[in-house]
Structure formats: structure tokens, C-alpha cells
Structure 1
Amino acid sequence: MYEKNGERYFVVDGHIALWDARESNHRNVHGKQFIDCFYDYHENLSPEDVVWDYDTYTYYGGDRLLRDVFVEGYVDHAIFQPVLLKDFYVNGFGQTEEALALTRSHPDKLTYNHSYDPRYEEAGLQQLREDATRMNLQGVKLYTAEWHGDSRGYKLDDPWSRRYLEECIELGIRNIHVHKGPTIRPLDRDAFDVADIDIVATDYLDLRFIVEHVGLPRLEDFCWIATQESNVYGGLAVAMPFIHNRPRYFAQIMGELLYWIGEDKILFGSDYALWTPKWLIEKFVDFQIPDDLLTDYSQITVEQKKKILGLNAAALYDIEVPSGLGLTESTRQDGAEVTARAREAAPS
């Protein structure tokens, strides 16, 4: 929980990971390329005083995760969004069993989402069924640009992908998180295109599609899709760190998201350990859209920040919000007035 100026914020970090990118786990050169790209993002978009050394970054372990996220990071609950990358890492990039063990040890603080790849076809479908039972899955994280043999990506509306989405409905897995953001070396940029979100969101209304990284650098495409599709949400991981070194760009991202899709469908995510949540939360609570941009956007409110930082994700995952950390009547009214003004200006 974070508190400032008499306001208390219930925080759900919707995007964390526990990875092993040490050289001993590299299957090939692509394992090094991937973690080096991650580290470049970390080093160039973080405040200097929170930059990690490279060796720590390749593997930090569960104890440090718990400290950085919950003890120092203000987070009340966090959701694992793993990436497997079996073609690049001997034991996979995301550490399934270690993350799952942490979740079982701290069920009040952690939720574990797993991943699947529809290119494993029937065998993978059976694995998904087993994983859903063993891991009590409420959500999955998909990486449509992941390599698999000769394939360098897939579309969500591919026939086998549809089979898996239909199985998710049967299994009660409603939250489908999809990386649709900046490319990561050596993955292909176009394999992260957001267009297939539009198709499956229309066809599978029983599912909720959380577009991680809000489609960057395709923000406009994402916004046009998400404003039309009621079951499409935006995850702020990767967008968040621009609040530090590109605050005006971040203001434009938030302004567009609030204008098009509204504060009820935007979720905070630190993308730990690319970045640590502490400084992101502090800067976001202090954040205001610059005055000269208010000709195009409405100012962000405390109510909107509370929803984005935790209340929206809590609703998607049935996470209990302690008494007093929800919305007060005054903030509801203030936020409703701002939202109404924005909606009046929106195209019909």
C-alpha cells in the first residue's frame, strides 16, 4: 500500500517475472541477445540510482523479488506473467517452478499465470489442461513472437490458437495477457502486431484480452481496437518508465489511453525486473499531465490513479481490496465528472 497526501493506494502489480538468463542457461546466442536487450531497456529507462549490475540482472532470485516488490515496492499483490523462450534457454527463461513455489508460499500476495504455445498442438493442449489444474490458473501470458522450430511467431486467430482460447473458456481461464509491445532482439517486430487482438476479442467475448505494453509502438492501433472491444484492456508495463526520462511522451500515452478506453481498462505493471515498482509508483502518484496538453486531454485524477494502480486488476482477478482502500464517494464523483467531459468530446 502506498500513501501520500492523505490518499492510500491499493497496488496490484499486474506484470512481474522471475527469470534465469545466466550464461549457463543459454541454449544459443539468442539467449544472450534477449537478456542484453532487456538490460538495455533497464539501463536506459531507469533512474541512475536504481540501475542493477548486469550479473544480478541475469538472475536475482525469489528473495530479492519479494523484497523489491513487497517490502520496498509498496505492492499489495503481484501477478506473474512468464515468458518461456524454450528455443533460447535450456530450462526456459521464466522459472515456472520457482515462481509457482513463491506463489504457494504467499497466496495472499502473488498470483501465478502460466504460458502456452499453440504450435505444440494437441500435446500442448493436454499440457494446458494439466497446468490449469495444478497451477489454479486464472490467466495466461502469450508471446506471439516466440520462436518455435522454423516458426518465428503465430497469430491469435490461427486455427490452433483458437482451439487453445476455446479451451481456456472451458477451463475458466478468463484473463489472456498478450505481449503486444516493443520488439526484443532477436524476435520479429511484426509478430507483435496488435491486429489479431481485434479478431479474437470479437469472437471470444467470454475472455478478457489484456494487451501488455498497450501495443507500443502501435498505440494508436491499440486504442482504436480497445475503444471498440469491451473485453480489451491495456497493461502499462514498458510504458511506465517513460514517466522518468520522457515525461511528456508518457503524458501523451496516458492522455490517449484515458480519452479512448477510459480508466477502468488500464492496468499498472512494473515489468519487474526490467524495472522496480517503487520509483514507478512514486512518480505515477505525483504525475500530472502538463498544462499545455490539457487542450487535448483531461487532467488525470486521484480516482483514476487508484483504479489504474490496483483496483482494476483486483476486479479482474477477484483480489480482495481491504476496507478503506477502495474509492470514496467524493473521488467517484470527481472522476465521473472528468470521464463524462472526456466522453462528450469523443467521436460518436
Structure 2
Amino acid sequence: MKDGMFVFDNVVHMFDNTMKNTTPTGVQIAQNILGMAKIFSSPKLPANPDFLGSEISVEEAHRILFVDSDTDMAMAQTVPLFGWWKDGFSPARRQYDLKKAYPDKVLFCGGVDPLFQGVEGACNEMTRQAEEWGAVSFKFYQAHANSLNWRVDDRAIAYPMWERALSLGVKTVQFHKGVPFGSECMEAMRPNDIQQAANDFPELNFVIHHLGDPYIDETISIAARTPNVWLSLSAWINVYPIMPREALMRLGKALMYVGPDRLLYGSEAFVWPAVQGYIDLFAELEMPEDLMDGYGFPAITRETKRKIFGENFARLMGVDVAAFLEKKYGHDTRHD
């Protein structure tokens, strides 16, 4: 809890950058990611110095999230990038390991790729991850090197996966949009292909990560008009320390057009391991008066923070916050 607010981190990654898992090109991509993380870092909120050539242990992840920070729950998200990593940048097995070790605090988000595993293979792996490992969501990365990509609204490639998710009782799928890591084609990272799929599968929730940066306006427009599209603020909070005005402009637009009920907090641990620093930052956030007066942005109220910090994602994942807090603290501490 942070000042009586339930904190449910939408996205943490148990990465594996060891040499046994990383291809030669993957080493360069990992360096690119670390370079980006260093750009969006400050002395108090640094990038992970052990990011390259290593993998974080479940014990260290638990310490960072649940001992040294106010995080109550987190989702460990698979990063199924197989072209640069043999088993994925954040392999499903490692996300499951964290969930298995701390099942009361961690939910497991699986991930597949139909271009590397085939459509049938991807669907079968979704079934395995859900039935054997308890996946409650799936994460997808669509753009790869050499213009290799697939679309969310492709009826032959993507729709069988959305149908499989629903048949497994999984009602939330998540997408990395924007924020290229290497030589991906930017056109393939636009959020536009979410629109038709979300309309064709109204019972499925589609989460767009990073506000689709640099396609922020398009991403917000899609979510504003499509009630089953949600926006993860993963990476958004990480840029705030060095460009607070730009970050507030982005959040202001999202609050104005989408509202606070479909926005999700995510720390992007463990690329940036100072999780508590980001929690403190968001808890203290205020919308400057000149942005409210000049752009019409709403104030960032305590209720807005409470929803974004964790209650929105809990609702999406079917987590009973009151029951969780009573089990952890003996009573619902939000009313203290």
C-alpha cells in the first residue's frame, strides 16, 4: 500500500540476458534497451547496472517488489521476442517461476508469437501456459527484424489466438506498441490494427502498452472510442524524471479523452529496479495549473491515483482487493 492506495504493478519482466539465451544480434538489442533506459534515468532512478549478460533471481525480484517497495501485487509479463533471444527476452518459464514462488502476490502473463511458432503452435502453447502455468493474460510483440510482422486484426493469423484465449477463459490480451528496440519497421508498431480486432471481439480486453509512443495521439483516440481498449502507463512513468512536462502532457490527454478508469500503472521493473522511487513519484504527482488552464486537462486527484495505481487492474483481472488486503493486513487498510 502507498498512503492507503492498493498498488498493482501491471508489468514487471523477469528478463534473461545470459549468453545461453541471447543471440549475437540480441546482445546489440539488449544494449539498445539499456541505452534507452539510461537516457530515461536519473541518479535516484537509475537503469539496472546488471541488465546485460544476466538474469534476475526470483528472490531478488521479490525483495525489490515486495520488501523494498509498497507494491502489493504484480504481473510478470512474458516478452516473446524469439528472433533476438532463443527463449524470449523475458521467457514464459521465468515469469512462471516468479508466480510459482509467490502465488499470492504475482499473476502470470504468458506470451507467444505465431510467426515463430506457427498459428497452431502458438494456440497450443497458449493452452499449455494457461492450463499448466495458470496464465491469466497473454502479451504479444508483433514487429521483428527484416520487416517481419503480423497484425492484430489478421483473421488468419491473429483471430485464432483471440478465439483460443476466450475459450481458455482469458479475457485480456496485451500488446507492445511503439518503442522500437532495433531494426523493426515503425509502421508495424502503430496501434491502428487494434481497432477492428477490439470491435470484432467485444468480450476481450486489449491493453496497449507505453501509450503507443510515439503514436500517442492515435493510441488515445482508439481507447477513447473503444471501451474494451485499456492503456498501460508502462514506460510512461520512467520518462517522467527527465521530461516531466512532456509526461504530464501525455497523461493529461489520456485522462481527458479516455478517463481514469482504463489506465494502468506499470513500473517496467527490472529494466529500472528502483520501483519504490516510481511509486513515490506517482503518489506525489499533480497536474500543473497552467496545463489545466491552457489545455483543459483534469486534476490528478487521489481517486484518480487510486484507480490507476491498482484498482483498475484488479478489476480487469478479477482480483478482490478487499479480500486481498484483509488477508494481508487483517482488514481493508484503504479505510485507515
TM-score by length of 2: 0.90
User: Is this contact kept in 2: 1:156–1:196, CA < 8 A?
Assistant: yes
Deviation of 1:136 after TM superposition, in Å, equals 1.7
1:127 paired to 2:135: no
The aligned residue for residue 272 of structure 1 is 269
The aligned residue for residue 294 of structure 1 is 292
Mean CA deviation greater in 227-236 or 67-76: 67-76
User: Is this contact kept in 2: 1:79–1:111, CA < 8 A?
Assistant: yes
Matches within 5 A, 1:165-314: 165-276=162-273, 277-295=275-293, 296=295, 297-314=297-314
User: Is this contact kept in 2: 1:303–1:327, CA < 8 A?
Assistant: no
Q: CA RMSD in A?
A: 1.8
TM-score by length of 1: 0.87
Deviation of 1:103 after TM superposition, in Å, equals 0.8
Deviation of 1:189 after TM superposition, in Å, equals 2.0
Unpaired runs of 5+ residues, structure 1, are 329-348
1:104 paired to 2:112: no
The aligned residue for residue 46 of structure 1 is 41
Letter in 2 for 1:231: N
SS in 2 for 1:195: coil
1:35 paired to 2:30: yes
Deviation of 1:117 after TM superposition, in Å, equals 1.4
> Deviation digits for residues 115-165 of structure 1, max 9, x if unmatched?
011231222222222222112221100111145xx7611101112211111
Deviation of 1:51 after TM superposition, in Å, equals 2.4
Give the fraction of aligned pairs with identical amino acids, expressed as a percent.
Answer: 25
> How has the CA–CA distance of structure 1 residues 122 and 24 changed in structure 2, closer, same or farther, with 3 Å as cutoff?
closer
**Distance in 1 between the 2:258 and 2:128 partners?**
35
Letter in 2 for 1:14: N
1:66 paired to 2:25: no
Deviation of 1:326 after TM superposition, in Å, equals 5.0
**Distance in 2 between the 1:326 and 1:198 partners?**
36
Deviation of 1:71 after TM superposition, in Å, equals 1.1
Letter in 2 for 1:37: N
- Picking from 120, 139, 142, the partner of 1:141 is 139
Higher helix content, 1 or 2: 1
User: Is this contact kept in 1: 2:40–2:238, CA < 8 A?
Assistant: yes
Deviation of 1:282 after TM superposition, in Å, equals 0.4
Mean CA deviation greater in 279-288 or 37-46: 37-46
Unpaired runs of 5+ residues, structure 2, are 326-330
**Distance in 1 between the 2:47 and 2:211 partners?**
26
User: Is this contact kept in 2: 1:33–1:186, CA < 8 A?
Assistant: no
Which 4+ stretches in 1 moved above 3 angstroms? 52-58, 323-328
User: Is this contact kept in 2: 1:211–1:235, CA < 8 A?
Assistant: yes
- Picking from 324, 327, 332, the partner of 1:324 is 332
User: Is this contact kept in 2: 1:34–1:186, CA < 8 A?
Assistant: no
**Distance in 1 between the 2:335 and 2:136 partners?**
25
User: Is this contact kept in 1: 2:76–2:108, CA < 8 A?
Assistant: yes
The aligned residue for residue 113 of structure 1 is 109
User: Is this contact kept in 2: 1:20–1:95, CA < 8 A?
Assistant: yes
**Distance in 2 between the 1:9 and 1:241 partners?**
20
